[in-house]
Amino acid sequence: MSALDAPLIVASNRGPVTFERAPDGVLVPRRGTGGLVTALIGALQEAEGLWVAAAMSPQDRELVATTAGRIDMHGFGASYRLRYLDIAPDVYAGYYNEISNGILWFVNHYLWDTPRAPSFDSSTDFAWDRYVEVNRAFAQALAEEAESFDTEPVFLIQDYQLCLVPRMLRELRPAALIAHFSHTSIAGNTYIRILPAKVREGVLRGMLGADVLGFHSEQWADNFISSARSLSGVRADLARSRVMAEGRQVAVRIHPISVEAGPMRETAATPELARLRKRLNQWRGDRRLILRVDRLELTKNIVRGFQAYELLLRRYPAWRGRVVFLAMLSPSRMDIPEYREYAEQCFAEATRINQELGERDWQPIEVRVKEDYLGALAAYGLYDVLFVNPVFDGMNLVAMEGPLLNRRGGVLVLSRNAGAYFRLGRYAIPVNPFDCTEMADALNTALEMPHDERTRRARGLSRLVLANPPERWVRSQLEDLERVRLRRTAQAS
């Protein structure tokens, strides 16, 4: 059977839905948002496949206790199944907080202040054992669930939390068709050597258990290949984007994910969004609007973004009183000390700038901290400049969402280190996210840009996003796996 028609099994840390208790006491699913869920749910529905994930909410765990973690979503109007794993809190903390987010996220986004951090010790070894344990539980669940299908399924494994699963699953099902996709940026060979040897080799060799490795941009794919080729017994073919490991060929492919335009535009057309836009327009007045929409996250470079805006106001004082900066920030990983400290630094920097440059009837920066999806959609419609300046980012969907909804010929100022830059860069104003002067000048260029040029760029951004719907992202990976299947068949004949 073709990989395009085979049953589909997806694995990710977080599932497509989280269960909540309705007022009548019944457990009901609440679907997550974003391109990943949209793309994979569509493919699962079509294949009537299965999604394996960790139970998140108490209600998820309650279902696990009563259903052995197996939930048929047909009862909720969907045509796929779930398998939720109930992982002990202390085990999950080591796997997720300490290794996935405390180490792998940091290394892949170049976040460490290396003269001071990190320092690895026995607690790292303990947490790594938890990471291995959870990845093994996922691999075993995937192998078990594969037995429930009449034909051999294909596996789509997602992201840095599950880097070991491809190799572990390969040991359990040697003939399986396995793809692993990395949604983050990827550290290059020099930086990844910061990791303890067993962590670095475990992650790289774990990923090489897949048949296909997917990345959002060429830069991340190249970084992975450069890191993998440093392992003993591994050969890399950069020209053909493939790696040879343990007698197997692993394809390295670039498949940028996108956003689903339809639901966003439908929501943006509702009366509620019109009311939110009206309020924002009243607040903004006749001033230009610079917007950023981000998680309150180290990689997003919020502090330098504020400093670049301050420099804009000092270098180009004619903009004082004529522009406002709206920063819509959602809390993220506040249980990690570095994140709490960074959030405080963001607030302090905005307060300082407002005190030094603000006037009686004008506050340069407005910071709003809460989960506010509808508010973000409303703001997308109104910005003059969308400021997206992460230090490193696997993709960055804000850079795609904004142009789809903007009504003012808004200009995108975009970090060259965002995966989205490699798709959208020709219509954006590119910036070095570490250079505040360059970012300040880019903001001024965006604000002064003639109407015709703004319109041309805005239309170009929208066309590029619409030309790459989320379902194409999934299909491209399945096509990669089908090529693997055909090659195996040819080699066996």
Residues comprising the chain, all counted: 493
Structure-token match 């917007």, residue found: 291
Q: Are residues 198 and 49 in the same domain?
A: yes
Q: Do residues 360 and 271 make contact, with C-beta atoms less than 8 angstroms apart?
A: no
Residues 108 and 230 in one domain: yes
- Strands 27-31 and 17-21, by their bridges, are antiparallel
> Residue 385 and residue 157: Cα distance in Å, rounded?
36
From CA 458, how far away is CA 452, in angstroms rounded? 10
Residue 74: predicted pLDDT: 82
Copy the structure tokens of residue 271.
């009366």
The verdict on 244 and 367 lying in the same domain is no
Q: Are residues 240 and 274 in the same domain?
A: no
Rounded CA-CA distance 47/450 in Å is 49
Looking at every residue in the chain, the average pLDDT score rounds to 94
Establish if 493 belongs to a structural domain.
Answer: no
d(CA 40, CA 475): 10
381 shares its domain with 480: no
Q: Do 336 and 372 share a domain, yes or no?
A: yes
Decide if 31 is inside a domain: yes
Range of the domain at 79: 8-257+471-488
The position carrying tokens 């457990």 is 27
Q: Enumerate helices (H) and strands (E) in the chain, giving the number of each.
A: 19, 18
Shared-domain flag, residues 251 and 317: no
Q: Quick one: pLDDT at residue 238?
A: 85
Same domain, 383 and 433: yes
Please indicate, yes or no, if residue 1 is contained in any of the structural domains. no
> Do 234 and 282 share a domain, yes or no?
no
Instruction: Please tell me the pTM assigned to this model.
Output: 0.94
Query: Residues 6 or more apart from 269 whose CB is under 8 A from it?
Result: none
- Is residue 298, in this structure, part of any structural domain at all? yes
140 and 274 co-located in one domain:
no
The answer to whether 258 and 469 are in contact (CB under 8 A) is yes
Q: Provide the CATH number for the domain around residue 71.
A: 3.40.50.2000
pLDDT tens digits for range 363-410? 999 999 999 999 999 999 999 999 999 999 999 999 999 999 999 999
- Return all residues near 71 (Cβ < 8 A) that are at least 6 apart: 63, 81, 82, 83, 84
Please tell me the total count of domains within the chain: 2
Peptide bond connecting 23 to the previous residue in cis, omega within 30 degrees of 0: no
CA gap 242, 255 in Å, rounded: 15
**pLDDT tens for the 493 residues of the chain, in order:** 798 889 999 999 999 888 888 888 788 888 776 557 767 887 887 778 999 999 998 888 888 888 888 988 887 888 889 999 999 999 999 999 999 999 999 999 999 999 999 999 999 999 999 999 999 999 999 999 999 998 999 999 999 999 999 999 999 999 999 999 999 999 999 999 999 999 999 999 999 999 999 999 999 999 999 999 999 999 998 888 999 999 999 999 999 998 889 989 999 999 999 999 999 999 999 999 999 999 999 999 999 999 999 999 999 999 999 999 999 999 888 878 888 999 999 999 999 999 999 999 999 999 999 999 999 999 999 999 999 999 999 999 999 999 999 999 999 999 999 999 999 999 999 999 999 999 999 999 999 999 999 999 999 999 999 998 888 899 999 999 999 999 998 888 7
Whether residue 257 contacts residue 401, with contact meaning beta carbons closer than 8 Å, is answered with: no
Position 346, amino acid: C
